[in-house]
Structure 1
């Protein structure tokens, strides 16, 4: 019978060791930062403007925002306005691609989130490509991908010049990524930055880090439908083990606003402001627990998918 030690040795031989005590990651973003803040659910230009205003007020550096309703839920004017503000402020503006199974006529996504972001059928993959082309034409250089086949198609379109070579392809938290071998597969399929499972332990995050050099994206406060965890006091250990890492500030006890729109009134803007406030709380805590992790970066980031206008 194979022992636990034998199994661990086999995993190590395959290049994916099972880590008990996570090592400290020496990897950093291009500007020398160990971590950055990502503000998710920034659903349109008004929400983006509110996030930028609150970040200025609280002194929180926001390098990336992401959107969940999708490119198809934004007008050209709205996308252009977001691109202009992102370019002005040097912020990566990330938009979700295409329709998804959870909004389609199929039944499986109604009973499990596991396939909620999948593209059902080749026509839906084509719709994701259409969203990508339109967003890039309007200046966006960062897209959120919820389907592995669509990810590989987008990689090929980047390679042949149909899409910009520097386009950031960010995987969705709805696509399960919970171990090192899966992270390596996502990287081979063309991912630029990896959204990992919300409940991974620090050693498990270190295993993902050992398998890829790509940035890791992790919810530090997790929406209720993804687990509802609040991991503020783990932030230092997470960054030490997983750097470079985007700390995503979701919200517990918040409504699901996808797809967003004017019918929701000021709710998306206020949620955006509160996410920035949460980031300020985390930054203060990290400065207290490990000031070295929050030292000012050495230069302007060159690895962001900042819009081109």
Structure 2
């Protein structure tokens, strides 16, 4: 493995890599399912002084109206914040049976027609100003890379891989980068040495749940935050929630639940921020606001 460039790490070596603005870590708030939730999240972030760099959505572009996407893009543009939307239909919502039994294929695109639907979602979102998309299928990822290269999609479009695409080792991270990923979600249960191995294999930002939804393991890793940042920088710390309902696909039928979950995710980020600053005051706090490597909407 060492000869192939993927040495087994016993003890993590601190990463010298950083985001474009020099920060070693940023906060991402996931499951921001529409403009009302986004407004609640940014209001809570302002109240608690949490620099949220990115929000991500899980229900998909197809579950939002043009007006909702435009409203979310406007909020992101005004704040210099990345707004990330999930692409298209997925196997778990499709007519097949395998995804009902295992999450391993739950975000896969079943058949070329579904790949085409993901492309349609990408084109629509970008036409409305979005510059960051969440991808759950390997083939879709490569197709989107090709569309970026030929100018069909914006060159600076962020392609973020989903946690539903298994990424648990360095060689896989290198494959994702070659296929067009610009930021990579990794397995929720990876150790700090595992993260150091992935960091050695790719220049891309790593996305890691610091509090993990129950259907992805349910871990709460707040006290590992400093070691994770040291080993994996640049890293997006994703604030999921344990003991919370799955709200995909979201909508008005869920009432205030998505907004309250969003506010609580920001509160969790504030707890982590305090802990990092106490345990390692030398780690640079994210500044917030626009940065060259963020997929900030264009309106």
TM-score by length of 2: 0.99
Q: Please give the secondary structure, in 1, of the residue aligned with 2:5.
A: coil
Give the whole-Å Cα distance in 1 for the aligned partners of 2:108 and 2:208: 20
User: Is 1:191–2:189 an aligned residue pair?
Assistant: no
- Superposition pairs of residues 219-234 of structure 1, within 5 angstroms: 219-234=209-224
Give the whole-Å Cα distance in 2 for the aligned partners of 1:67 and 1:298: 20
1:253-303 deviation line (CA, Å, top 9, x unaligned): 000000000000000000000000000000000000001113455995111
Q: Please give the secondary structure, in 2, of the residue aligned with 1:293.
A: coil
Residue of structure 2 equivalent to 1:7: none
Give the whole-Å Cα distance in 2 for the aligned partners of 1:299 and 1:171: 23
CA contact (8 A) 2:79 2:290 kept: no
1:165-187 deviation line (CA, Å, top 9, x unaligned): 00000000000000000000000
Residue of structure 2 equivalent to 1:174: 164
CA contact (8 A) 2:58 2:85 kept: yes
Give the whole-Å Cα distance in 2 for the aligned partners of 1:110 and 1:162: 34
CA contact (8 A) 2:81 2:289 kept: no
User: Is 1:305–2:299 an aligned residue pair?
Assistant: no
Cα shift at 1:89: 0.5
Residue of structure 2 equivalent to 1:3: none
CA contact (8 A) 1:32 1:298 kept: no
User: Is 1:117–2:107 an aligned residue pair?
Assistant: yes
Give the whole-Å Cα distance in 1 for the aligned partners of 2:211 and 2:49: 20
1:86-115 deviation line (CA, Å, top 9, x unaligned): 000011000000000000000000000000
Q: Which runs of 5+ in 2 are unaligned?
A: none
Give the whole-Å Cα distance in 2 for the aligned partners of 1:293 and 1:67: 28
TM-score by length of 1: 0.96
Q: Which runs of 5+ in 1 are unaligned?
A: 1-10
Cα shift at 1:23: 0.3
The 3 A distance-change label for structure 1 pair 184 and 296 is closer
- Superposition pairs of residues 202-281 of structure 1, within 5 angstroms: 202-281=192-271
Residue of structure 2 equivalent to 1:138: 128
Give the whole-Å Cα distance in 2 for the aligned partners of 1:267 and 1:298: 27
Q: Please give the secondary structure, in 1, of the residue aligned with 2:283.
A: helix
CA contact (8 A) 1:54 1:276 kept: yes
User: Is 1:19–2:9 an aligned residue pair?
Assistant: yes
The 3 A distance-change label for structure 1 pair 120 and 135 is same
Runs of 4+ with >4 A deviation: 296-300
Larger radius of gyration: 1
Residue of structure 2 equivalent to 1:45: 35
CA contact (8 A) 2:80 2:289 kept: no
Give the whole-Å Cα distance in 2 for the aligned partners of 1:20 and 1:101: 37
Residue of structure 2 equivalent to 1:6: none
1:194-242 deviation line (CA, Å, top 9, x unaligned): 0000000000000000000000000000000000000000000000000
The 3 A distance-change label for structure 1 pair 179 and 277 is same
CA contact (8 A) 1:32 1:299 kept: no
The 3 A distance-change label for structure 1 pair 158 and 20 is same
The 3 A distance-change label for structure 1 pair 265 and 186 is same
Q: Please give the secondary structure, in 1, of the residue aligned with 2:2.
A: helix
User: Is 1:28–2:23 an aligned residue pair?
Assistant: no
